[in-house]
Amino acid sequence: MRILLDKFSKSFGSTNIIEDMNLEVGSGEMLALLGPSGCGKSTTLFAVCGIHRPTSGRILFGTRDVTDLPSQERNVGVVFQSYALYPHMTVEENIGFPLMVRRIASADIKKQVADIADLVHIGDLLGRRPAQLSGGQQQRVALARALIRRPDVLLLDEPLANLDAKLRLEMRSEIRRLQKETGITAILVTHDQVEAMSMCDRIAIMKSGEIVQIATPSEMYKDPRTSFVASFLGNPPISFLKGKAQQGAFVLGENGLCLPIAALSGIPDGTTLSLGVRPEHFGTAGGIPVEGKVVFAETQGRENLYDVVLPDGSVLRSIQPVRDDVKPGDSVRWNLDSASTFVFAEDGRRL
Amino acid sequence: MIAPAAVMISLFFLMPVILTAIFAMTNMSTATGISGGAWQVTQGAVNRLKTAMPELANGIAEPRFVVDEEGLAALEALKLKAGFTTELRTSHMGEVFPSRREAERVIKALKDRPSTREVKQISDLFNRSVLNTRFETRDELMASLKKLGFTLTPAEQDTVAKATYTGWVWTTENFRIIGNSPDMAQIFLNTAFYVSVTLLLFNVSYALFLAITTHYMPASTASIFRAIWLLPRITPVVIYVLLWKWLTWDSGFISMFVGQFGYPPKNYLLDSAYNAWFFVILINGFIGASMGMLVFSSAIKAIPQTQFHASEVDGASRWQQVRHVILPQLRWPILFVTCYQTLSLLASFNEILLSTRGGPGKATEVWSLAAFHTALNNYTGNLEYGLGAAMALVLVVVGIVLSLIYLRIFRYDTLISKPLIED
């Protein structure tokens, strides 16, 4: 079911969190609301599920206006960051709770709980209480509880934040699998770009209550609209060089590095710019040699990560296949792929 | 660091209980005093002896007259005719007369013919009655009795000593009185009624109601409500009860108000047992509710907010939220409040003492108040410390038994075996 936020605003007291936000999530789509903490992504999610009422604007599920409906009548499933399982109930009672409050016959509840528990692979834990479960198991219980009454919309509020790294990987694909199997429209709130990119069809990246860009993960990675988007996506993150435009080229510092960049034609000379260079575009490949000194090296097993300080003091990050010949302190001359860099204006706009 | 705690516990908690238990096993009262006593043949002692030794009882109650050296010496000192002394010594020495009449007949028959006035004077000197005489030791009493011609077997001596002893003795009589007296049974029923109704209606139910309703209010409104409900608790009890008296007196608010509709003024607090109970329960309930409200409110606050959000999106109505999310997680505070308030209601009587004094009649007399009245404050003036202590001891036992029952009902073992609120 499609979700539409139409000029949605939310303020708490005199603090405006979100103003005039428009967002459409297509039916069966999984959308990530990505942003740093305090950007209003959870507020948006809570407005969609009805815990917060919008200050103004409309929220539509399909064609149904749910703006003024209490959460009880919205038919949404929510997985909270802390899972919010009821500690005094067994797993079975937790999952069956949404059905129980609808006074569905207990035999039916039992059957449906068993079905959904199998779907999330916790069929053998039904008799336990939340305190007797691991984080991942609690997560699955929370998912099952959110899914059991076949909600129109599934909302996930930082669902993986409390899990350890390995479990996070596992649950990532697990949630995506469930979402695809059930064909449910889902919104994932996260501050983790890897989660957003790996799980979702589209990402809406938010900053101070506004959606900066909505796109598919690969589009957004390749074509960030602002420096904020560019800096938020990618791990290890992009590095920025401060410089000026000069005759269609990007010049770093006083008579420093000079990079000819196609996007810069027509930009007046002397405009302050910043150049975004992703770590994979600085290394062995690429056309323009850059000299610098390695100050930091880290091996990640398959790849090595280097921080290189340029003569003017700015830092470029490089990721390369594992090599043993470079150590911190070494001077290097590596190549920069200027065609793959992004140029941003002073206000962060992509040029 | 156990020692200081152990000292404090034994000094301030165990000692009072132990002392109460010790006092409960005595018949101490104003009459016996709390130090040792003496032996005295009071009318009461005579009455007590009447069933076991009727002959002795009757004899002991009458004056007895004995011609002995002591009396003769006193006679000589009176400087009457010397013949009286001589004749009494020679012909009547050691004779015992069971009544004044018989003694005076012998005196009158003396050769020197004493006048009627002298007869009276002389007979008084030989009056050896033990009635109302105080003997510091048991042996003195026995010697006197022997002198008076009562020969007693050791068993009889024991009976007499017991009946005449004025000090306190060890006894289990108090518990027999508590167990058999219909008055005590009535007080017990009063207490059960008072504790259970106040506890159920106010200290738990009403407190829960307040905690839950204030939970759903905006925070500022909620704190105003809580503050109002705390007023009875923080007002000095004397003033608080005085306010209730102003409300209920025959010149008080209620009387004035219904007077507008033509009802005659009356004391609503004390005019009938029903009204007295009504107000006693309100007075205590309003105080008691505030504590439960605070405990329950903070327990509800301790439930993570997301559980309320989750239950809302799961489709639970307010009532279902209360029933399935809040109440199950309040099991522990409810146990605590029930337990604590039961003991507190059982033991405290100050509000009742200040408002109805147990009246009208003894309609609102509860166990602790009765113990206070018995042991420390009553109209007859005979304060029965022993009986009062026994009543207090019963209260201690009842409290312990009730606590154990509560722990069982609320399945205390499961409460402590697992984390209460998981997070």
Find the angle CA(A116)-CA(A120)-CA(A121) to the nearest 5 degrees: 110
Mark yes or no for CB contact B309/A101 under 8 Å.
Answer: no
Asked if the model's pLDDT at residue B34 lies above 90, the reply is no
Q: What is the structure's pLDDT at B417? A: 61
At the topology level, CATH places domain A3-232 in Rossmann fold (3.40.50)
- Separation in Å, CA of A89 to nearest CA in chain B: 9
Cβ(B307)–Cβ(A145) below 8 Å: no
CATH number of this structure's domain A239-345:
2.40.50.140
Region B16-43: mean pLDDT is 84
Region A252-257: mean pLDDT is 71
Region B190-200: mean pLDDT is 93
Asked if the model's pLDDT at residue B148 lies above 60, the reply is yes
Distances (CA, A) of B214 to B209, B220, B299, B328, B329: 8, 10, 13, 18, 17
Q: What is the structure's pLDDT at B421? A: 47
- Residue with the larger pLDDT of the pair A36 and B96: A36
Of A46, A88, A97, the CB nearest to B314: A97
Q: From chain A, pick out residues whose CB is under 8 angstroms from the CB of B324.
A: 86, 89, 97, 100-101
Q: What is the structure's pLDDT at A78? A: 92
Q: Give the Cα separation of A128 and B20 in Å (integer).
A: 49
Q: What is the DSSP letter of A156?
A: E
pLDDT band at B422 (very low <50, low <70, confident <90, very high): very low
Structure tokens at A73: 């009548």
Q: Which of A149-153, A170-174, B300-304 has the highest mean pLDDT?
A: B300-304
Asked if the model's pLDDT at residue B419 lies above 60, the reply is no
Asked if the model's pLDDT at residue B81 lies above 70, the reply is yes
Q: Considering only CA atoms, which of B198, B226, B201 is closest in space to residue B296?
A: B226
Residue of B nearest to A93 (CA): B324
Distances (CA, A) of A157 to A86, A143, A153, B306: 17, 11, 13, 11
Cβ(A161)–Cβ(A131) below 8 Å: no
Q: Give the Cα separation of A245 and A273 in Å (integer).
A: 7
> pLDDT per residue over B346-358, tens digit each?
988 889 999 888 8
Q: What is the structure's pLDDT at B256? A: 86
Alpha-carbon A26 to chain mean position: 18
- Separation in Å, CA of B308 to nearest CA in chain A: 8
Strand-pairing partners, residue A30, are A186
pLDDT band at B188 (very low <50, low <70, confident <90, very high): very high
Distances (CA, A) of B176 to B184, B185, B229, B387: 11, 12, 44, 10
- Residue with the larger pLDDT of the pair A258 and A341: A341
Cβ(A130)–Cβ(B422) below 8 Å: yes
Asked if the model's pLDDT at residue A243 lies above 90, the reply is no
Q: Considering only CA atoms, which of B141, B293, B318 is closest in space to residue B229?
A: B293
Instruction: Look up the ipTM and state it.
Output: 0.82
Distances (CA, A) of A261 to A231, A337, B57: 20, 10, 133
Q: From chain B, pick out residues whose CB is under 8 angstroms from the CB of A102.
A: 315
Q: What is the structure's pLDDT at B99? A: 79
pTM across the whole model? 0.76
Asked if the model's pLDDT at residue B86 lies above 70, the reply is yes
Lowest mean pLDDT among B20-24, B296-300, B407-411: B407-411
What is the helix (H) or strand (E) element at residue A307, kind and residue range?
Answer: strand A303-309
Mark yes or no for CB contact A84/B317 under 8 Å.
Answer: no
Mark yes or no for CB contact B422/A97 under 8 Å.
Answer: no
Q: Which residues of A touch B (CB under 8 A)?
A: 46, 49-51, 70-72, 74, 76-78, 80-82, 84-89, 97-98, 100-102, 129-131, 145, 149
Q: Considering only CA atoms, which of A330, A28, A76, A26 is closest in space to residue A185?
A: A28
Task: List alpha helices for A202-267, DSSP H.
Answer: 217-222, 227-232
Cβ(B131)–Cβ(B60) below 8 Å: yes
Q: What is the structure's pLDDT at B423? A: 43
- Separation in Å, CA of B414 to nearest CA in chain A: 11
- Residue with the larger pLDDT of the pair B127 and A196: A196
Asked if the model's pLDDT at residue A111 lies above 90, the reply is yes
For chain B, the average pLDDT equals 85
What is the helix (H) or strand (E) element at residue A207, kind and residue range?
Answer: strand A202-207
Asked if the model's pLDDT at residue A202 lies above 90, the reply is yes
Q: What is the DSSP letter of A72?
A: G
Distances (CA, A) of B191 to A227, B145, B285, B398: 77, 49, 15, 11
Name residue A157's amino acid: D
Region A133-158: mean pLDDT is 89
Distances (CA, A) of B165 to A187, B86, B134: 92, 39, 10
Place of tokens 């007077």: B259
pLDDT band at B36 (very low <50, low <70, confident <90, very high): confident
Q: From chain B, pick out residues whose CB is under 8 angstroms from the CB of A72.
A: 312-313, 315-317
For chain A, the average pLDDT equals 88
CA atoms within 13 A on the CB side of A330: 12
- Residue from B305, B314, B319, B415 whose CB has the most chain A CBs within 10 Å, to mutate: B314
Q: Considering only CA atoms, which of A299, A292, A297 is closest in space to residue A253?
A: A292
Find the angle CA(A159)-CA(A165)-CA(A167) to the nearest 5 degrees: 65
Q: What is the DSSP letter of A226?
A: B
- Residue with the larger pLDDT of the pair A189 and B110: A189
Mark yes or no for CB contact A131/B422 under 8 Å.
Answer: yes
Region A253-280: mean pLDDT is 79
Cβ(A32)–Cβ(A199) below 8 Å: yes
Instruction: Show me where the domains of chain A are located.
Output: 3-232, 239-345
Residues whose CB is less than 8 angstroms from the CB of residue B69 and which lie 6 or more positions away in sequence, other chains included: none
Q: Could you tell me what percent of chain A has a pLDDT over 70?
A: 99
Cβ(B374)–Cβ(B388) below 8 Å: yes
Q: Give the dihedral sign, CA B401/B402/B403/B404.
A: positive
Asked if the model's pLDDT at residue B409 lies above 90, the reply is no
Pairing of strands B39-40, B65-66: unpaired
Task: List alpha helices for A226-337, DSSP H.
Answer: 227-232
